[in-house]
């Protein structure tokens, strides 16, 4: 008689326990577990109550999930298993606090919401011994504590990117291109991609085509199926210092490319290039918006800082002003370019603000730059883009390895998610900047430290 194979955890129906961090990341997460069951600890509802007021994305997520539960409660008590939706066999329940056997609060010596959620997971595991029980949390430390207690735990994976290797890929250099091909690209301005590669590249993907000392910079036009020669451009006095920056200017100044992700480490010029390109095209847009999310240092809310709202926000916006001043100070005070920037600020044609202040506004006919985009969630990035009106160009800049927001990582943050989704659309472009140009000392720090 053939032995019956033991079912793997991923092959059977499971019970997922959602942490507060998952709900605040995606209020619709309960609908992403297909046929599996969902447990919402009562402690999660208590924590959501603290987030329901405010204008930040997490406040919106909390309110939407509370509305979802309110609709579910109209069908009866939430302490009974109820279908999550009509599209799957998955069920959900809100579980009250119970104590059984192992107690996380006693083990870790502190009463806190995380430990109550762990207790709920332990109770569920005891009640349903034949069913795999998995705690889902964006909180790495909570997942570690869960595993220490013998529980399965994992990150919320619904918005994880599909091709993480693409995030690491530099501008590709293709060696061994014959001189005739390079000469043809210079003379005609383009060449069919099959003359260079067997496999079709991504839309707007950039290449350095080389043969010894001869080379040409080219990007792939997916609509025409050709490599197009890239000419070196300048923007508002800023000149590209390397091939990567030439590629960046090529898409930043291209009116047909509406959505751009500039990814790279500090000092590669992401924000400077984006802002210089916006100023160069200022007559084509009603306004230039430059924004970034506010991530308080040491997790201290800005409300505790001294001064009025402007003085509180200035430290967070200062890096953006520094880039603008660097561009402006290339010129003398009597130069028209210098005066134009001052005039744009006074007339609010150029606006530098926290991202929270710009949410909800119409972004039609605007060149919109979002700095430090790695600190946004995928939903926040989507919300920004879906507000784009006619003649709007949006540029996201950031470093996926420098994340300051809790519960996000290099693969789950909004910038990585954006790069993964737009990398092969002709209206979009992804540029990875790797070579630092701030100074020799800054480059040394990046290389050695």
Which ranges of 41-152 would DSSP assign to H, the alpha helix? 42-49, 57-73, 104-108, 113-127, 140-148
Across residues 198-216, what is the average pLDDT? 88
Q: What is the rounded CA–CA span in Å between residue 303 and residue 146? A: 33
Specify if 95 maps to a domain: yes
What band does 188 get if pLDDT is binned at 50, 70 and 90?
very high
pLDDT at 326 over 60: yes
pLDDT at 176 (0 to 100): 86
pLDDT at 134 over 80: yes
* Total number of domains in the chain: 2
Instruction: Give the residue numbers spanning the domain of 359.
Output: 235-448
Instruction: Kindly report, residue by residue over 33-63, the tens digit of the pLDDT.
Output: 988 999 999 999 999 999 988 777 888 899 9
For 380, the enclosing helix (H) or strand (E) is helix 378-385
Across residues 324-330, what is the average pLDDT? 92
Last residue of a domain, one of 154, 182, 215: 154
pLDDT at 299 (0 to 100): 43
DSSP state of 49: H
Same domain flag for 402 and 276 = yes
pLDDT at 297 (0 to 100): 41
Alpha-carbon distances of 74 from 4, 41, 69, rounded to whole Å: 44, 19, 9
For residue 51, what are the β-bridge partners?
Answer: none
Alpha-carbon distances of 134 from 90, 118, 131, 151, rounded to whole Å: 15, 11, 10, 7
pLDDT at 59 (0 to 100): 87
Question: What CATH number did the domain enclosing 118 receive?
Answer: 3.40.50.1010
pLDDT at 2 over 70: no
pLDDT at 1 over 90: no
Specify if 202 maps to a domain: no
Specify if 425 maps to a domain: yes
pLDDT at 133 over 80: yes
Instruction: Kindly report, residue by residue over 139-172, the tens digit of the pLDDT.
Output: 999 999 999 999 999 999 776 666 666 666 678 8
Specify if 198 maps to a domain: no
Specify if 159 maps to a domain: no
pLDDT at 408 (0 to 100): 84
Query: Across the chain, what does the average pLDDT equal?
Result: 85
For residue 216, what are the β-bridge partners?
Answer: 209
Alpha-carbon distances of 43 from 49, 130, 137, 180, 355, rounded to whole Å: 10, 25, 14, 69, 30
Specify if 123 maps to a domain: yes
Give yes or no for a contact between 264 and 274, defined as CB atoms under 8 angstroms apart.
Answer: no
Specify if 178 maps to a domain: no
Q: What is the rounded CA–CA span in Å between residue 29 and residue 52? A: 17
Last residue of a domain, one of 154, 172, 205: 154
Same domain flag for 311 and 418 = yes
Across residues 209-236, what is the average pLDDT? 91
Q: What is the rounded CA–CA span in Å between residue 113 and residue 421? A: 35
Last residue of a domain, one of 106, 133, 154: 154
Same domain flag for 275 and 399 = yes
Residues 6 or more apart whose CB falls under 8 angstroms from that of 271 comprise 319, 320, 323, 369, 371, 397
What band does 332 get if pLDDT is binned at 50, 70 and 90?
very high
Same domain flag for 303 and 409 = yes
Across residues 239-249, what is the average pLDDT? 93
What band does 214 get if pLDDT is binned at 50, 70 and 90?
confident
pLDDT at 314 over 90: no
Question: What CATH number did the domain enclosing 281 receive?
Answer: 3.40.50.300
Across residues 419-425, what is the average pLDDT? 89
Pairing mode, strands 37-41 and 15-18: parallel
pLDDT at 6 (0 to 100): 42
Across residues 3-21, what is the average pLDDT? 71
Q: What is the rounded CA–CA span in Å between residue 351 and residue 366? A: 11
């Amino acid at each position: 008689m053939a032995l019956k194979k033991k079912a793997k955890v991923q092959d059977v129906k499971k019970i997922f326990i959602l942490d507060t961090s998952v709900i605040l990341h995606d209020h619709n997460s309960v609908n992403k577990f297909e046929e599996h069951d969902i447990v919402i600890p009562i402690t999660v509802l208590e924590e959501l109550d603290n987030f329901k007021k405010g204008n930040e994305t997490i406040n919106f997520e909390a309110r939407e999930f509370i509305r979802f539960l309110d609709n579910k409660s109209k069908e009866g008590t939430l302490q009974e298993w109820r279908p999550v939706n009509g599209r799957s066999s998955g069920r959900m329940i809100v579980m009250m606090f119970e104590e059984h056997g192992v107690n996380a609060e006693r083990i870790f010596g502190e009463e806190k919401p995380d430990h109550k959620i762990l207790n709920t997971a332990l109770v569920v595991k005891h009640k349903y011994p034949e069913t795999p029980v998995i705690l889902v949390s964006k909180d790495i430390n909570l997942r570690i504590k869960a595993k220490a207690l013998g529980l399965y735990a994992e990150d919320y994976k619904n918005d994880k990117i599909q091709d993480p290797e693409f995030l690491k890929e530099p501008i590709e250099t293709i060696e061994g291109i014959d001189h005739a091909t390079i000469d043809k690209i210079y003379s005609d301005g383009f060449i069919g991609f099959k003359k260079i590669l067997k496999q079709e590249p991504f839309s707007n993907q950039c290449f350095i085509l080389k043969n010894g000392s001869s080379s040409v910079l080219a990007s792939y036009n997916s609509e025409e199926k050709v490599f197009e020669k890239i000419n070196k451009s300048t923007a508002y006095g800023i000149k590209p210092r390397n091939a990567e920056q030439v590629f960046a200017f090529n898409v930043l100044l291209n009116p047909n490319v509406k959505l751009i992700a500039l990814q790279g480490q500090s000092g590669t010029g992401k924000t400077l290039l984006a802002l210089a390109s916006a100023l160069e095209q200022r007559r084509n847009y009603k306004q230039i918006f430059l924004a970034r999310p506010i991530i308080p240092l040491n997790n201290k809310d800005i409300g505790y800082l001294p001064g009025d709202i402007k003085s509180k926000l200035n430290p967070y916006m200062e890096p953006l002003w520094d880039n603008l001043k660097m561009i402006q100070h290339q010129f003398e005070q009597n130069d028209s370019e210098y005066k134009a920037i001052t005039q744009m600020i006074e007339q609010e044609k150029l606006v530098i603000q926290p991202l929270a202040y710009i949410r909800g506004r119409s972004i039609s006919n605007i060149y919109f730059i979002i700095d430090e985009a790695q600190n946004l969630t995928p939903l926040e990035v989507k919300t920004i883009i879906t507000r784009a009106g006619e003649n709007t160009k949006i540029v996201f800049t950031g470093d996926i390895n420098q994340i300051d927001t809790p519960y996000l990582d290099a693969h789950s943050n909004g910038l990585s998610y954006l790069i993964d989704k737009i990398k092969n659309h002709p209206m979009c472009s992804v540029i990875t900047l790797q070579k630092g140009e701030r100074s020799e000392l800054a480059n040394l720090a990046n290389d050695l430290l």
